[in-house]
Chain A
Amino acid sequence: MMIKVEDLKKSFGDNEVLKKINLEVNKQEVVVVIGPSGSGKSTLLRCINLLETITSGHVYIEGTDIADKKANINKIRQDVGMVFQQFNLFPHMTVLDNIMLAPTKVKKVSKEHAKEKALELLGKVGLAEKADAYPDSLSGGQKQRIAIARALAMEPKMMLFDEPTSALDPEMVGEVLDVMKQLAKDGMTMVVVTHEMGFAREVGDRVIFMDGGYIIEENEPRQLFEHPQEERTKAFLSKIL
């Protein structure tokens, strides 16, 4: 088991955003989280690598409880790649340096090795020619593919995607989803928060529907989309499909 979430609760002040979430993600599984905005899906994802503190409950990454004060969160995060809605590339560095920074500074990989790996990843996301460009000169779709390559450079065991295509112009969504599909095909364990139902249906092993801080329903994609059991799921799907 890669990720196990147990009775997770998260509050911002008086506002309880996650109300007792339980979730398990197995090795090489692609779990897609859908739901209306404000349902807590992004917060759930951010709790999994402790970008949000956990109010109560547990999150286990490969058996280690990350809420435990003794857990080395910096070490654990190296195994959990994250891709953000706003890309968050480092604007003061070239694409190559963006990708090489964490491997060389955190993992202490040699520069030559890191560069070789970075160029290989850039080829994989189809942006080999952009190695020396600065992020500001790239389109949104290119930025997000670089962000994926940057996360992969740490050779994570699992990847979290927080609405990776929501900030993109429609014509750029496809190129990012293609990279993610390939990643899933290569056997990466993935948790993806998205509004792309086509992606959920095609790539997801399991789809989770969240609303109001609860997991309302989870099932394999075809079952969930074609035969939703819960009223709230039906209402949500009828609005977006």
Chain B
Amino acid sequence: MGVNPFEIIKEYLPFFASGTLFTIGFSLAGIVFGTILGLLVCFGKMLSNKWLSLPFVCYIAFFRGTPLFVQILIIHFGVVPAIFHQSNGIASGIIALSLNEAAYIAEVFRAGIQSIDEGQTEAARSLGMDKVQAMRYIILPQAVRRVLPPMGNEFISLIKDSSLLAAIAAPELTYWAQAMGAQYAIVWTPYLTISFIYLILTLGMSFLVNRLERRMATK
């Protein structure tokens, strides 16, 4: 054993620190944009007009039905250069994670909304609320509570999936672990280190979601 693992970790500490921030940043961006976009896609898919809802059905089919890794490659080497005339790993990463997350969030929301008893809508409408008011004040608040646990799962998956962005040289955790591994021709030290960091991030996320669940409970 030629190198001391603690020496290397110390050397790479600034990179792991910034890598962790990037991983958190990608995840947060994916969660925020994915949730907003996912809600829109969800409403789009629930439109009663079959033709109007078709694009949203296709959107979900594509992003759930193809590998995220392939989507990242298409967006990074195809879509982003075509639009911005240059490639940018960070922009590609945020776009790919958000678009992919939106498809899953849309389906989670749809399940949540459809699980709310029809009588809730009827009661709201019978009081004179229009469709939008009934959705906003009655259905969505209840649906959000109900989908918190599956949403938490999605967010945890997202944190882990952001590691795929290493392939397009986005400077997140896995990217730096690969760099470290390549520089010193080692396996255990870099990958165990980032595994530990990912574990802290995902456990932190499930802790946050649990707390939110408890805070939103009505009784």
Contact = CB atoms under 8 A, between A and B. Distances in A.
Interface of A: 49, 51, 74-75, 77-78, 80-82, 84, 86, 88-92, 101-102, 105-107, 134, 136-137, 147, 150-151, 154
B127 A136 contact: no
A51 B134 CA distance: 14
Contact of B129 (A88, A92, A106): A106
Given A86-B119, A92-B141, A81 B218 contact: no
A77 B145 contact: no
Nearest to A153: B127
B157 interface: no
Nearest to A133: B219
Nearest to A80: B126
B75 to A, nearest CB: 38
Contacts of A154: 127-128
Given A81-B126, A84-B119, A102-B128, 17 more contacts: A51-B125, A74-B128, A78-B127, A78-B128, A80-B126, A82-B122, A84-B123, A86-B119, A88-B122, A91-B218, A92-B141, A92-B145, A101-B127, A105-B137, A106-B133, A107-B128, A150-B127
B130 interface: yes
Interface residues of B, number: 20
Interface in B109-143: 117, 119-120, 122-130, 133, 137-138, 141-142
Contacts of A88: 117, 119-120, 122-123
B78 to A, nearest CB: 44
A90 B120 contact: yes
Interface in B124-172: 124-130, 133, 137-138, 141-142, 145
Nearest to B129: A106
A102 B136 CA distance: 12
B219 A134 contact: yes
A78 B125 CA distance: 9
A75 B127 CA distance: 9
Classify the secondary structure of B's interface with A. helix
Contact of B130 (A74, A86, A92): A74
B169 to A, nearest CB: 46
B219 A137 contact: yes
* 8 nearest A-B residue pairs (beta carbon): A88-B123, A78-B128, A102-B127, A82-B126, A88-B119, A106-B128, A77-B128, A134-B218
B119 A77 contact: no
A102 B18 CA distance: 50
B126 A51 contact: yes
B125 A77 contact: yes
Contact of A77 (B126, B142, B218, B219): B126
22 contacts: A49-B126, A51-B125, A74-B129, A75-B128, A78-B127, A82-B122, A82-B126, A84-B119, A88-B117, A88-B123, A90-B120, A90-B138, A91-B218, A92-B142, A102-B124, A105-B137, A106-B127, A106-B128, A106-B129, A136-B218, A136-B219, A154-B127
Contacts of B117: 86, 88
Contacts of A80: 126
Interface in B154-208: none
Most chain B beta-carbon contacts within 10 A, residue among A75, A89, A106: A106
A227 B33 CA distance: 69
Contacts of B125: 51, 74, 77
Nearest to A134: B218
A82 B122 CA distance: 9
Contacts of A86: 117, 119
A153 B57 CA distance: 41
A175 to B, nearest CB: 21
Contact of B218 (A78, A92, A105, A106): A92
A215 B127 CA distance: 28
B57 to A, nearest CB: 25
B56 to A, nearest CB: 25
B127 to A, nearest CB: 4
